[in-house]
Amino acid sequence: MAAHRSGPLKQQNKAHKGGRHRGRGSAQRDGKGRVELKILCKKVRKELSRVDQRHRANQLRKQKKEAVLAEKRQLGSKDGPPHQVLVVALHNRISLSEAFRLLQDRDMGTVHLNEWGSTYSFMLLCPRLKHRWFFTSARPGDLHSVLDMAKVADTILFLLDPQEGWDSTGDYCLSCLFAQGLPTYTLAVQGFSGIPLKKQIDARKKLSKAVEKRFPDDRLLLLDTQQEAATLLRQLANQKRRHLAFRDRRAYLFTHAADFVPSEENKLVGTLKISGYVRGQTLNVNSLLHIVGHGDFQMKQIDAPIDPFPLNPKVIKSQKDSGMAMEVCASDVASDMEEDLKVLMKADPDRQESLQTEVIPDPMEGEQTWPTEEELSEAKDYLKEGSKVVKKVPKGTSSYQAEWILDEGGESGGERDEDDDTEQDFMEEESQDEKSEEEEEEEECETMTIGDSVRDDLYDEKMDEEAEEKTLEKYKQERMEEMFPDEMDTPRDVAAKIRFQKYRGLKSFRTSPWDPKENLPRDYARIFQFQNFTNTRKRIFKEIEEKEDEGAEVGWYVTLHVSEVPFSVVEYFRKGAPLIAFSLLPHEQKMSVLNMVVSRNPGNTEPVKAKEELIFHCGFRRFRASPLFSQHTAADKHKLQRFLTADAALVVTVYAPITFPPASVLLFKQKSNGMHSLVATGHLLSVDPDRMVIKRVVLSGHPFKIFTKMAVVRYMFFNREDVLWFKPVELRTKWGRRGHIREPLGTHGHMKCSFDGKLKSQDTVLMNLYKRVFPKWTYDPYVPEPVPWVKSEISSTVPELDME
């Protein structure tokens, strides 16, 4: 047997890498007794078994189901507020009085009628179903009343026509309600029994096909007989609830009765007593109260009178506390005995929210105090040390002679003084720029003339020539803005460096830095700003969910004493308009800068210019303001849009009270005839005064002589000084070239420019200039009542109608 002989190629194994991996002993020796910090975990995570996981999921599912059932049972019960139903007719052939007659079924329960002004409502108490409803309707043609009542309604009952479903007015109303946010709703068809039996099936199919565009997968109920009305009531009581986010975190109240007690000093201002059922959250007397369309107010006290619409009066009598010793039905006796018992809560001046909406600016806040003697002596010593300059002098020169010898830069002092003078002139001319801008805009708006009309005299009588002239001018400006965005002609009577002295050039609009605290207007000293708005919003919402607040519970019938309310609020209520009150969250009475994302309503084509007064429905608020429009981007700078465009969503910036999102936003514009037309819809984005809206101005010039990469450009400026002033700003062309100004040529504004490529003769040279703009402070919580809807007026905003 032959022995093994190793070959010439020997196997070489890898050496053990002992330096990289350390054992426990070596690690302890290196640590020399040091112990690592232990991480304390508050929550002990236990791994549940599969059976326990299934059991936990069943428990969570059961809790959610019980919470939904409890919410459904509380609404309309004896312990909860009445089920408020807003009835909206979507066609002019719908009869509200007939629908209310069918719903007022005496066999179902007790009916309490309530009528004020032109608004009709009633309370239906049904002990058999253990439910009570409050049916109400808005004034005919009053869109703002419909929107306000929809904010607090539990259910909206839409009445449809059996043939068309809804007309142009109903479609306009649906567009506004969908944009604001719909609560629970039900569809009912009135007048279906009037159609012949043979045509009812086809009419139902046609109506379902028309309705499914707005309401897919929704059931249509009939409302022609008492039996169908009873079925509709059961559907209203048992259907699934839909929530509106902006009202679930606030207490709100629909006014059933109101009384006014004038003050002794001024009869036009006094205490307003409003009575109604508390909804949403617990109402605290120390919080502020917002009356929709009238402003923010403080409450003095909250009373708890007897519920005027109890579900079971006998049961309530037996459940009364024996210590009260009175009968509910004996109102005349109880009124004297209940004086001490019905006051639920009085306001605490130390805990009550303040009505301060603005910061009072201190004009001396930025001033410097007078320095002390020590600081003055230190400053003199520092100047002496800094004034010692090393100079090259001939040998043997004394210090006195050296003071008279000028160095090479000795003549710079005069130049520095000249620069200071120019800077002072620059600051003086800066104040004149705003006036010149406004005068130019006014002049541009007044130079348009309209030719004589050739239409009939009867048609001309109804036409407002001034409104037509302004609208035509806006259409022309909007068209010019689409064709030549941000372009402006350089003025010839004013130097460009004076006209555009507030503007600056940017290397890149996206990446170039811009300080948001730079050159702020005086209005910014009046507003409030959060250090971190998102964290503040989360903290307040968390306190609402976890903290149990003191006050009137949900479902209680209370009377609120609201102080310092003008008498016009009561007159507004007595005319038949709804009076709705919302409690405010902390800081919601303070003014700040609100940013809202909106999209143009496709039914409105009239041009809307920036800083034009619009009517806002933002969450539970309604106010007037003049907004700015800007692009909706993720950058830190956002370009101003001069008009509300229809192709993309824009951000609306406005001065308004703080509102915590989510909240829906509707924008209306008041026409010359008093009508309010829906302009845009959207939602509240943020409360951020640091969001920068940048206005861009584009100056254009034309190539006069073109060389390889050089060109002589004219008509951008008209004097030599302007060319030298704007020389550092980068140029661009419409065909994508970039360049710079080399030097001016002559004295008429011609300039030699270099580009990164050869120019075309048909190309245009552009220069972009930027400045930050701010909205106007025109906030007004009072909105005038609009003119009621007229079908001919609504047709101008609905595209489906024939304009002939």
pLDDT digit string (tens) for 87-126? 999 888 888 888 888 888 777 778 888 765 446 788 888 8
Distance CA 471, CA 454 (A): 19
Distance CA 493, CA 447 (A): 18
Sign of the C-alpha dihedral, residues 69, 71, 76, 78? positive
How would you class 221 by CB atoms within 10 Å of its CB: exposed for 0-12, middle for 13-18, buried for 19 or more? Answer: middle
Task: Evaluate if residue 598 carries a pLDDT over 90.
Answer: yes
pLDDT of residue 200: 83
Three-class secondary structure of residue 567 per DSSP: coil
pLDDT 10s digits, 43-73: 556 677 888 888 989 999 988 888 888 777 7
Task: Evaluate if residue 385 carries a pLDDT over 50.
Answer: yes
End-to-end CA distance of the chain: 118
Task: Evaluate if residue 428 carries a pLDDT over 50.
Answer: no
50 C-beta neighbours (distance < 10 Å), count: 7
Three-class secondary structure of residue 233 per DSSP: helix
φ, ψ dihedrals at 369, nearest 5°: -75, 160
Task: Evaluate if residue 413 carries a pLDDT over 60.
Answer: no
Ordered DSSP codes for 266-312: -TTEEEEEEEEEEESSPBPTTS-EEETTTEEEEEEEEE----SS-S-
Of these ranges, 112-126, 434-448, 652-666, the one predicted with the greatest mean pLDDT is 652-666
Sign of the C-alpha dihedral, residues 341, 345, 347, 348? positive
667 C-beta neighbours (distance < 10 Å), count: 26
**What is the Cα gyration radius of the chain?**
37
Number of H helices, E strands in the chain: 20, 29
Task: Evaluate if residue 791 carries a pLDDT over 50.
Answer: no
Place of tokens 């459940």: 319
Report the mean per-residue pLDDT for the chain.
79
Range list of β-strands (E), 528-633: 557-566, 580-583, 591-600, 614-618, 621-625, 628-631
Contact between residue 122 and residue 111 where contact means Cβ atoms under 8 Å apart = yes
Mean pLDDT of 520-534: 90
The gap from C-alpha 302 to its chain's centroid, in whole angstroms, comes to 31
Contact between residue 270 and residue 162 where contact means Cβ atoms under 8 Å apart = no
pLDDT 10s digits, 734-754: 888 999 999 999 888 899 999
Q: Which H or E element spans position 155?
A: strand 155-160
Task: Evaluate if residue 770 carries a pLDDT over 90.
Answer: yes
Q: Which of 77-91, 300-314, 415-429 has the lowest mean pLDDT?
A: 415-429
Three-class secondary structure of residue 473 per DSSP: helix
pTM assigned to the model: 0.72
Contact between residue 352 and residue 298 where contact means Cβ atoms under 8 Å apart = yes
Task: Evaluate if residue 227 carries a pLDDT over 50.
Answer: yes
The gap from C-alpha 716 to its chain's centroid, in whole angstroms, comes to 40
pLDDT of residue 321: 44
Task: Evaluate if residue 22 carries a pLDDT over 90.
Answer: no
Task: Evaluate if residue 497 carries a pLDDT over 80.
Answer: yes
Between β-strands 295-303 and 557-566, what pairing exists: parallel, antiparallel or unpaired?
antiparallel
Task: Evaluate if residue 276 carries a pLDDT over 70.
Answer: yes
The angle at the Cα of 444, spanning 440 to 447, to the nearest 5 degrees, equals: 130
pLDDT of residue 425: 47
- Phi-psi group of 18: left, alpha or beta (phi > 0 → left; psi -120 to 50 → alpha; rest → beta): alpha
Contact between residue 581 and residue 278 where contact means Cβ atoms under 8 Å apart = no
φ, ψ dihedrals at 385, nearest 5°: -65, -40
Task: Evaluate if residue 594 carries a pLDDT over 90.
Answer: yes
Distance CA 360, CA 358 (A): 6
Listed in sequence order, the DSSP H helices in 696-777 are 720-725
